[in-house]
Amino acid sequence: MGVWLCLLGLAVCNSLLLFISEFLINANKVGNSPEEIAAFLKDASGLNKTFIGDYLGEREELSLKVMHAYVDSFDFQGMEFDEAIRAFLQGFRLPGEAQKIDRIMEKFAERYCKCNPKVFSSADTAYVLAYSVILLNTDAHNPMVKNKMSAEDFIKNNRGIDDGKDVPEEYLRSLYERISRNEIKMKEVDLESQQKQAVNSNRLSGLDSILNIVVRKHGEDSNMETSDDRIQHMQEQFK
């Protein structure tokens, strides 16, 4: 199995990712159903987390089915929203492409709401709030951010996201405090850590690298009145 894991870890482009997945299936190293491939990506040790995120974010039919199966394998019932995000992001690194992030986080939001149907009015609320949590995590724990987002800022930025209604202030404040105290981090194998230190010395670590993509994408797709305020605030932090 070591040879196959090395191939997976060395994948560097989308066409190669898709080729390798098909190769492993044909070689009978992985089952051919989306559920079996998802289980392999979730449970096999030593896989490159960046590769997994890129693969799950692909729009090719098989990759989409695998991503759906992967997300649906999580049981978020009874979990706080940030706890679910932490659990979800343990197994892969969010890709750097906005459309890939969108596909993954939209499915996450749908799954969270299915497991916790009474928390939000719709999956759209969870989708928007997931982005807000990622941005807050970056704001709170990136030393480059000069002026940290306050709890009041976070609450203001998320007004009206629950089908035009406000998520309870107490809920948002508690979420803010947990994220501020405890950074959302992704587990990485030692090899990935070494690679990141070698080639990413001038890049932001953790979730920081997707900040600008997430902000820009959210601004393009959202019609909410709070979007411009949120985008402006986050951009100001990095001036």
pLDDT at 221 over 70: no
- Residue 68 CA to residue 111 CA, distance in Å, equals 9
pLDDT at 83 over 60: yes
Query: pTM for this structure?
Result: 0.72
pLDDT at 208 over 70: no
pLDDT at 233 over 50: no
| pLDDT at residue 47 in the model | 77
What are the b/e assignments for 127-158, b being 16+ CB within 10 Å? bbbbbbbbbbbbbbbbeebeeebebebbbebb
Contact assessment for residue 81 and residue 129, using Cβ atoms and an 8 Å cutoff = yes
| pLDDT at residue 40 in the model | 86
Integer angstrom CA distances of residue 31 from 21, 36, 125, 148, 199: 10, 5, 35, 47, 34
- Given pLDDT bands bounded at 50, 70 and 90, which one contains residue 19? low
| pLDDT at residue 204 in the model | 38
Give the three-class secondary structure for 1. coil
| pLDDT at residue 32 in the model | 74
Greater confidence (23 vs 151) lies with 151
pLDDT tens string 94-136:
888 889 999 999 999 999 999 999 999 999 999 999 999 999 9
| pLDDT at residue 48 in the model | 81
- For the chain, list the domains and their CATH numbers: 2-72 (1.10.220.20), 81-237 (1.10.1000.11)
| pLDDT at residue 65 in the model | 96
Q: What is the mean pLDDT of the chain?
A: 76
| pLDDT at residue 228 in the model | 43
Find tokens 């999580």 and name the residue.
74
Mean pLDDT of 189-193: 44
- Residue 210 CA to residue 193 CA, distance in Å, equals 18
Q: Which residues carry out catalysis?
A: 97
pLDDT tens string 156-177:
999 999 989 999 999 999 999 9
Going by C-alpha positions, the residue among 125, 122, 130 that lies closest to residue 210 is: 130
The DSSP secondary structure of 82-136, one letter per residue, reads HHHHHHHTTS-PPPSSHHHHHHHHHHHHHHHHHHSTTTSSSHHHHHHHHHHHHHH
The DSSP secondary structure of 154-223, one letter per residue, reads HHHHTTTTBTTBPPPHHHHHHHHHHHHHS-------HHHHHHHHHH-TTS--TTGGGHHHHHHHHHHH--
